[in-house]
Structure 1
């Protein structure tokens, strides 16, 4: 079992130097990406991830150069060669290698893939929940595109870390948008609420899984924007992402959420999410 990488046709070692200096992902952040979680060798919601990758590429006028089925087969091949049962697979497509110029070059896209052991959250984090900090949303206006331009997200995540928190939750025009790398949900009176899809948030794949689970479980699911005050006064708060799955929030800006423990709805959703994984 080992971490593996792929770059423009070659399977390589994870630490091999391969990116040319004029690669546009390196120069401009001119590209898009996805991360797919593998459980026991099986990818979770792979089609949905690939659909989003191709949507993001189309939004920035980037031709990936492979059909979706061809890219899927390549990713499954690399994951299989790694021998890793539980893995995080990152796929990244950029506008290619060309002399530095803001205008689009006439060259093929660059495709890179990495497969590494899945990052697991500790039992303590799962059982106790995490703390978050609220920060202004300083990102661009096309956050629905999963692009490589993540500097505002990186700065927000670092600020959370420096304040002893797991995540920064972002606020734009007085309303919660999402986390620096997560979607955000509140629970009030048994109803799960999250911001509607728009250009200001990413259409999270785990967000979609949670929406499906609430429908199956008969849990009310409401898509509406909510204010920071509503988050602070919620019965429960939780985050979702590919790597965090469903994760309880027990404090925000130093204020306790609910009774300070992961709530019953969050726990139920997490358990159902795990059942969804086992049923693959």
Structure 2
């Protein structure tokens, strides 16, 4: 869907028209990508898994040493949804280290720059899709668990996928599937779901955690284990998860210019996960 700029944003403690909010050219987010971000889904005007998303934001800020508690953002998220007047949408939050003379070390006494806003998003129809992805080497840094605004490697990978006519670029590191450029990856073999374990090589996805909980509650075996690229021909189903992708089935994986067909339709495991996920979001 086409994205538009929000009418207003919460910027450094006040609500402003978006065109009036300006960041200094010396902000470390602008100069160095020195910041953390988060995206919270909204269904029926209700933020979904907000505490989990804010918890991940706090963990990211702590990991990179940005001193901002994020405690006051709970009310700001709700306020953003009300002000944006969107039934379904997304709330974007970004916290940078702040404005300071450019250095490669952390400056002292700097106030973080905080941006927050909401905008409409159409979540409908994900359960009807069957998408293709491309497989590429994971060339990113080794702290993929931190939701950093430094996303150049992810942007290049996702753009390459779009240029190839597919929706996502799935990464492999030393022969093992890690995650997508902006998604978590799940593979199904013999009725068991496999997904890469948490650690430095994947983002701890909130939707990923929900899917794992759904699977365990419904009796679907789950293994948080890396899946080998060499074993992809054994996969009967596969799907992507994420805030905007929700739970989207994979039809084919392009490897070295050749398409490996995973499934010609959504499989039974994927369908069960999707149905349970829809129930959760509809119950808000």
> Which TM-score applies when normalising by structure 1?
0.94
* Aligned 8 A contact 2:190 2:236 in 1: yes
1:266 equivalent in alignment to 2:267: no
Contact 1:232–1:252 under 8 Å retained in 2? no
Contact 1:142 1:199 (8 Å CA) reproduced: yes
What does residue 79 of structure 2 align with? 77
1:120-163: per-residue Cα shift (whole Å, max 9, x none)?
Answer: 46x4x642410000000000000000001110000000111111
2:57 pairs, out of 53, 59, 72, with: 53
C-alpha deviation, 1:3, in angstroms: 4.5
What CA distance in whole angstroms lies between the structure 2 residues aligned with 1:164 and 1:111?
35
Tell me which residue corresponds to 2:3. none
Match of 1:113 in 2: 116
Gaps of 5+ in 1: none
Cα shift at 1:10: 1.8
Distance 2:137 2:233 in 1: 16
Q: How does 1:247-266 map to 2 (within 5 A)?
A: 247-253=248-254, 254-258=259-263, 260-266=264-270
Work out which of the residue numbers 89, 92, 99 in structure 1 matches 2:91. Answer: 89
CA contact (8 A) 1:3 1:114 kept: no
Indicate the RMSD between aligned Cα atoms, in angstroms: 1.5
CA distance in 1, matches of 2:122, 2:28: 28
Q: Tell me whether 1:144 sits opposite 2:145 in the alignment.
A: yes
Matches for 1:1-280 after TM superposition, within 5 Å: 3-64=7-68, 66-68=69-71, 70-105=72-107, 106-120=109-123, 123=125, 126-253=127-254, 254-258=259-263, 260-280=264-284
Normalising by structure 2, what TM-score?
0.92
Quickly say closer, same or farther: Cα 1:111–1:232, change in 2 above 3 A.
farther
Aligned partner of residue 237 in structure 1, secondary structure: strand
Question: Tell me, which stretches of 5 or more residues in structure 2 are unaligned?
Answer: 1-5
Distance 1:39 1:166 in 2: 23
Alpha carbons 1:3, 1:117 under 8 Å: kept: no
Q: Deviations over 1:218-249 (max 9, x none)?
A: 11111111112323430000000011100000
Q: Sort the Cα spacing of 1:227 and 1:166 in 2 relative to 1 into closer, same or farther, 3 A.
A: same
Q: For residues 102-124 of structure 1, what are the alpha-carbon distances to aligned partners after superposition, in whole Å with 9 as ceiling and x for unaligned?
A: 22222111100121111446x4x
Counterpart of 1:239 in 2: which secondary structure? strand
In the alignment of these two chains, the number of paired residues is 274
Displacement over 4 Å in runs of 4+: none
Secondary structure, counterpart of 1:99 in structure 2:
coil
CA distance in 2, matches of 1:48, 1:225: 24
- Distance in 2, matches of 1:222 and 1:149, equals 30
Evaluate the alpha carbon distance shift between residue 168 and residue 146 of structure 1 in structure 2; reply closer, same or farther with a 3 A threshold: same
